[in-house]
Amino acid sequence: MCGIVGYVGKRNSQGILIEGLKKLEYRGYDSAGVAVFTSAGLEVRKAKGRLAILESNLEDAPLQGNIGIGHTRWATHGKPSDVNSHPHTDNTSKFSVVHNGIIENYLNLKEELIAEGAHFVSETDTEVIAHLIASVYEGDIVKAVQKAVKRMRGAFALGVLTEYEPEKLVAVRLASPLIIGVGEGENFIGSDIPAILEHTRNVYILNDGEMAVLTQEGVELMTIEGNFISRELFHVDWDITTAEKGGFDHFMLKEIFEQPKAYRDTMGARINDAGTAIELPEVKLSAEQIKGIRNVHIVACGTAYHAGLVGKNVIERLARIPVEADVASEYRYREPIITKETLVIVVSQSGETADTLAALREAKRCGAHVLAITNVVGSSVAREADSVIVTWAGPEIAVASTKAYTSQLIAFYLFGLFLAQTLGTQTPEAIRSIIADMKELPQQVESILARSEEIKQYAEEFAKNTDLFFIGRGIDYAVVLEGSLKLKEISYIHSEAYPAGELKHGTLALIEDGIPVIALAIQEELFEKTVSNIKEVKARGANVLGIVSEGNDELQKSVDHVFTIPKTTGLLTPALSVVPLQLLSYYASLALGHDVDKPRNLAKSVTVE
């Protein structure tokens, strides 16, 4: 959830580090810092707050040197402060470290190091690493890092410099993402590809338990045990403009408007030319194995978990297989019953979510086949899963996920249909009909986006309130959970989502005059029941915005405002109905003057448990 950048080459490193960290701001952070090897030795500058504060400090007193490391921190140990910011050093200031992740045994290591004479100045677990490396250094920084890492438990990506060997930058990866960029006479490290894309498109993606030694002359890859590794370079073919706002005021709005393209790209060649079948060669399950699946577990966090709730509905209805959906941080601790007949689906936008990775590993330990749905090729989740469906949403910069979420829905539709056609639980005609409706989704989303000003008006009205409720039934409930989360994430308005039928079991006590309620009434089979629930809140003075399919004029009689979405197959409606909810949260945040793309206290990629 933090950002790492490193550089070694012939150019001055300070500017490269700062620009690289700017490309990683989407990951969320509360402080920033750099360490550069200068003619005076290792010099560290760091500051609490936005990167602009550090940049301003460096303009007043620039660092000159051609090797350095930089970091944006999101607090896990110790409050945000200048002292707790990275990079961290040992007492001699001869060793400097940047770190993403958590060192679980840092307190024991800290006590040992204090007993040996180390003096700690921060509250972080990371400072332990700098002291530990210094304590075992005997003239070879690579061996010192290897010794230190073997004593550390947890998740970490490291960038390490020492004044004793100023030509080397050492990088290590264990359960936290790190990539190596290879240039001509210069090399880079980064938490994510955008950090270095301006300088090189050739990268090595480190696997767990691997490290790299970077110099001007080249890169050596090896295991933590010291065994050298030979690997082909991965060439990145992203268009760099995909990481820019493209004329939109915010990345989030740009990404909301990119959803039609993300839908088309994710469906892509996975629908055959005739539009009659789903083709998923990336799913490494034979027809016989699919027929042997007795239950499915969907495991994810946050927005991805909400996509999983939709996926549960999709798979159960289409394939008639029982599905459980779990929050990843709770999954292992309830001792789930996982057998070789269980299919575990893990969902992660970044592919690096720590809790989801832990669930994946537990599922594999128990013998289950693991299918990953992720947006990042080469991520930990993608590499460790048995099968992977990549969502071709492209880079998502805003912290609040939009196009990654809806692309996950498309992936679930594809997989649900794939299971159904393999198991014969749906007729060919039914499958063909759903596929035809799926192909219409991008254009239907475009028609919703063309009416964004309507949603803006509702958002500006609702933003005047401190509390708000979302209600829905069936698959609509899964969608309002995501709508409520989006609103909380970026507008900071307190909101709750409830199954509409549960209102009378306590929640109605919270409804009072003027309180906004957003009600989804999309599912035809539940429409009358949902209207009854809407009347319950209206009778208590709620200001209701109803969202319904086109052609249904009944809802208007029971609500204050109506927004219609194009009509489609019931299972596919989440891919449409969530779009006005995304816009609602965006415009509410805008009306309140908040930082839409970088909401407080949140990070894009959560790589600690």
- Distance from C-alpha of 69 to C-alpha of 80, rounded to nearest angstrom: 20
Catalytic member of 2, 48, 312, 598: 2
Q: Which among 46, 168, 538, 604 is annotated as catalytic?
A: 604
Whether residue 27 contacts residue 604, with contact meaning beta carbons closer than 8 Å, is answered with yes
Does 598 participate in catalysis according to the annotation? no
Contact 55, 94 (CB under 8 A): no
Is 346 in contact with 356 (CB distance < 8 Å)?
yes
Exposed / middle / buried, residue 222 (Cβ in 10 Å: 0-12, 13-18, 19+): middle
For residue 192, give the DSSP letter.
S
Q: At what angle do helices 141-150 and 126-136 cross, to 10 degrees?
A: 120
Burial class (CB in 10 A: 0-12, 13-18, 19+), 15: middle
Amino acid at 173: R
Report how far residue 321's alpha carbon sits from residue 418's, in angstroms, rounded to the nearest whole number. Answer: 13
Pairwise CA distance, residues 68 & 157, whole Å: 16
As a whole number of angstroms, the distance between CA 357 and CA 380 comes to 8
- CA 476, CA 574: separation in Å to the nearest integer? 7
Q: Which pair of structure tokens corresponds to residue 370? A: 């693991």
Q: Kindly give, in sequence order, each residue whose CB lies less than 8 Å from that of residue 80, ignoring residues fewer than 6 positions away.
A: 30, 31, 48, 49, 73
3-state secondary structure of 264: helix
Does the annotation count 2 as an active-site position?
Answer: yes
Provide the 3-class DSSP secondary structure of residue 147. Answer: helix
- Alpha-carbon gap, residue 100 to 557, rounded angstroms: 54
φ, ψ of residue 591 in degrees (nearest 5): -65, -30
Residue 273 to residues 18, 21, 39, Cα–Cα distance (Å): 47, 43, 63
Helix-strand-coil split of the chain, %, nearest 5: 40, 25, 35
CB atoms within 10 A of CB 414: 25
Q: Kind and range of the H or E element at 518? A: strand 516-520
Q: What's the number of CA atoms in the CB half-sphere (13 Å) around residue 595?
A: 12
Q: What is the Cα 350 distance to its own chain's centre?
A: 4
Which residues of 17-139 form beta strands (DSSP E)? 31-38, 41-48, 67-73, 88-89, 95-103
Interstrand relation of 516-520 and 543-549 (parallel, antiparallel or unpaired): parallel
Give the catalytic positions in this structure. Answer: 2, 604
